[in-house]
Structure 1
């Protein structure tokens, strides 16, 4: 039996790629807690190479700084799981990959690592476009580690879909 969330992820990926290809847009990703799942979902679709340029898997703070240009002071002040960090991750990916749309994901998938202020399931997103940057925080509570990651991928794909439809 096929997992319904995986079917939704692949359906959304296909829609994002179709819209982006139709509009001549390129996409890049910067992932932390999803561990490459977003890039994998996008590249699972035939024809993804016409849109998807690549991505960064920056699980550690050191790599967020080194590869994406996230400020060490941002990480110290706000933490890796913050809209400020997600913003810098998306901007870094956009600049380094030279893409039209860059999405970032950073969060706490669990089962440990949460705090009262940032419980397990807290995920921050950044989306950098040619003329804007938006950030969002979602709480995917009462879910397993893998479901938090799956829901984060779904949310990122929805953000990309909306951005591609606006262009």
Structure 2
């Protein structure tokens, strides 16, 4: 039996590539809690190299700072799981990758690591484009670690599709 969530990821990946190609949009990613799953989902599709430029896997705060320019002050004040950090991750990735759209994902996949203000399943996204950076937070509930990560990938692809369709 096919997993409907994985089927959704496959369908969205195909839709993302078709939309990005149709609007001549290049894409980059910077991932934390998803550990490269978004980049893997995008590049699983044939022809992805025509729009996907690459990405960063910044699981540690040190690499968030070194690779995509998140400030130590932001991490200290707001933590790794915050819209402020997601904003800086996306902006830094867009600048460093030279893409039209860069998306960031940072969150608490679980099973531990949550807090009352940031429970397990909390994921922050940043989407950088030429018009600035849009941020969103989604709480997917305390599902399994892999489901939180899958839903974060789905959410990010939907954000990218909407943004690419506006180009």
**Contact 2:111 / 2:142 at 8 angstroms: preserved in 1?**
no
Report the Cα distance in structure 1 between the residues aligned to 2:128 and 2:29, rounded to whole angstroms.
10
Asked whether 1:34 is paired with 2:38, we answer no
* Structure 2, unaligned runs of 5 or more: none
Cα deviation for residue 142 of structure 1 reads: 3.3
Q: Tell me the equivalent position of 2:107.
A: 107
Q: Does 1:150 align with 2:150?
A: yes
In the other structure, the counterpart of 1:76 is 76
Counterparts of 1:108 and 1:9, CA distance in 2 = 20
Return the alpha-carbon distance in structure 1 between the equivalents of residues 74 and 66 of structure 2.
14
- Residue of structure 2 equivalent to 1:120: 120
Correspondence 1:1-167 to 2 at 5 A: 1-167=1-167
Rounded to whole Å, the distance in 2 between the matches of 1:128 and 1:66 is 18
Judge which range, 47-56 or 14-23, deviates more.
Answer: 14-23
TM-score (norm 2): 0.99
Q: Distance in 1 between matches of 2:106 and 2:39?
A: 14
Q: How many aligned residue pairs are there? A: 167
Which segment drifts farther, 96-105 or 128-137?
A: 128-137
How far, CA to CA, are the matches of 1:142 and 1:64 in structure 2? 25
CA deviation digits over 1:9-67, x for unaligned, max 9? 01001101111111111000000000000000000000000000000000000000000
Helix, strand or coil for the counterpart of 1:137? strand
| Cα deviations by residue, 1:114-133 (Å, 9 ceiling, x for unpaired) | 00010000000000011121
Note the residue ranges of structure 1 that are not aligned, 5 or more in a row: none
Deviations 1:61-106 (A, max 9, x none): 0000000000000000000000000000000100000000000000
> In 1, Cα distance between the equivalents of 2:151 and 2:89?
19
